[in-house]
Amino acid sequence: MSGADARTWPDATLTRVPYWVYQDEANYRAELRRIFEGPTWSFVCLEADLPQAGDFRTTFVGEMPVIVVRAEDGRICAFENRCAHRGALISLDDQGSAKHFQCVYHAWTYDLEGTLTGIAFEKGSNGRGGMPPGFSKTAHSPRKLRTATLHGLVFASLCRDAPSIEAYLGEEILGRVARVLHKPIRVLGRFVQALPNNWKLYVENVKDTYHASLLHAFFGTFRITRLTQGGGVLVSPDGGHHASYTIDRADDRVNTAYREQGIRSERQNYRLADARLLESVNEFGDDIRLQILTVFPGFVLQQIQNCLAVRQVLPKGPDSMELHWTYFGFADDTPEMHARRLRQLNLVGPAGYVSMEDGCVGGFVRRGAAAAEDEVSVVNMGGDTTESMDTRATEASVRGFWKAYRRYMGQ
């Protein structure tokens, strides 16, 4: 029995989560194998990042470094960024364009699909040395990943047994992806946020519809989202994916639900000096002001008013992670819409008016629960199920995460 299996959950309920699950080193190593390298799909880049054959980006699936590249025939390929010879990184760039890849260490060469095609001094020098006859180059390639594209998103999976991306997400979540990514995009910028906490604390935070207007005073005060507004949360049948949404702006200035509960995020007198920040356009035509969507294990698609971004959650050990932000608009944005998006990007990212707190709250949990490995957190809002609900005062999608997690982990 490995260390990961020796750990136990309190009981069958999804409403209690033990803190060791964020702390245990053996459990973390098991997550990389069973989840990130298991039958799941990880977001790796945007199709817009790879317009031409040979264009590539390097990223990670879990902790595995990967190269994602558009091959000569237009297909997108992904393979481990690890030389088959001695294990060095094959590419040392974040992005670029290549005819082939060559490891710097001993000049072993790979084609755009990641197949080993060349070995320096394969025949030796002056008839001496070299690789043994019969050494098969094609049998010695870095691990190749399956790829799938979905409305401009590129996902990769190391597992032959993963279902198709469409079956993986399910119809409801697919519809919510299509709703946002309905035309060609234009990337506006990228940033990396290093967070001092386990990756799951961030994913839970994104799925947690309950916290948004409580932790984020900016949200509540400007009525961007409040739990008293219309909206809800969709949870995929397997629990792993979700989409939460807010419909229109509730005219709840007379609603006293927040004030009665003495909640910090209720500040009536807070007004913007420049109200253009929140001037938004109903660009998707469905009155959905805000939609946050996750794909298990670590992908987020975000629409907050006209502020659009994808976020990639990368684990970096039990106690740290990176959040890779890519901000985007659409290729046909008018100058006014472009300027609006740049202003609204103040809402998100490491300095975001409504997402700044998400950068530190996972660290607060890590520090608060430092000595609590055998204690549990309480995930009971909205009951104990993982069903979709037409309210956001629920933790159904957080329970959904744990439902999927425990299935993949065999816990």
Partner 1 sequence: MAKLNADYARAIDDDRLEAWPGFFSEPCLYTITSADNHRRGMPAGLMYADSRGMLQDRVAALREANIYERQSYRHLVGLPAILGEAGAGVKTETPFLVVRIMRDGQMDLFATGRYLDVLVEEGGELRFRERIVVCDSSRIDTLLAIPL
Chain positions contacting partner 1, by CB under 8 A: 94, 187-196, 215-218, 221, 265, 267, 270, 272-274, 276-277, 322, 327, 338-339, 342-343, 345-346, 349-351, 353, 356-357, 359-360, 363
Name the minimum Å distance from CB 222 to partner 1. Answer: 9
Q: What is the DSSP string of 34-103?
A: IIITSS--EEEEEGGG--STTEEEEEEETTEEEEEEE-TTS-EEEEESS-TTT---S--SSEEE-SSEE-
Residue number, 239 or 352, with CB nearest to partner 1: 352
Residue number, 343 or 406, with CB nearest to partner 1: 343
- The token pair at 403 is 């439902």
User: What's the CA gap between 376 and 6, in Å, rounded?
Assistant: 17
Beta carbons within 10 angstroms of residue 161's beta carbon: 7
Beta carbons within 10 angstroms of residue 283's beta carbon: 16
Amino acid 217 reads A
Name the minimum Å distance from CB 371 to partner 1. Answer: 17
Beta carbons within 10 angstroms of residue 286's beta carbon: 12
Name the minimum Å distance from CB 297 to partner 1. Answer: 22
Residue number, 247 or 337, with CB nearest to partner 1: 337
Task: Provide the 3-class DSSP secondary structure of residue 145.
Answer: strand
Name the minimum Å distance from CB 374 to partner 1. Answer: 26
Phi and psi of 195, rounded to 5°? -110, 140
Phi and psi of 231, rounded to 5°? 150, -175
User: What's the CA gap between 214 and 212, in Å, rounded?
Assistant: 6
Name the minimum Å distance from CB 277 to partner 1. Answer: 7
Residue number, 80 or 333, with CB nearest to partner 1: 333
Residue number, 75 or 338, with CB nearest to partner 1: 338
Residue number, 20 or 222, with CB nearest to partner 1: 222
Residue number, 236 or 344, with CB nearest to partner 1: 344
Residue number, 232 or 363, with CB nearest to partner 1: 363
What is each CA distance from 301 to 180, 309, 310, 325, 366, in whole angstroms? 9, 6, 5, 10, 25
Name the minimum Å distance from CB 50 to partner 1. Answer: 15
Name the minimum Å distance from CB 358 to partner 1. Answer: 9
Name the minimum Å distance from CB 352 to partner 1. Answer: 8
User: What's the CA gap between 313 and 328, in Å, rounded?
Assistant: 17
Q: What is the DSSP string of 255-315?
A: --HHHHTT-TT--TT---SSGGGG----TTSS-EEEEEEEETTTEEEEEETTEEEEEEEEE
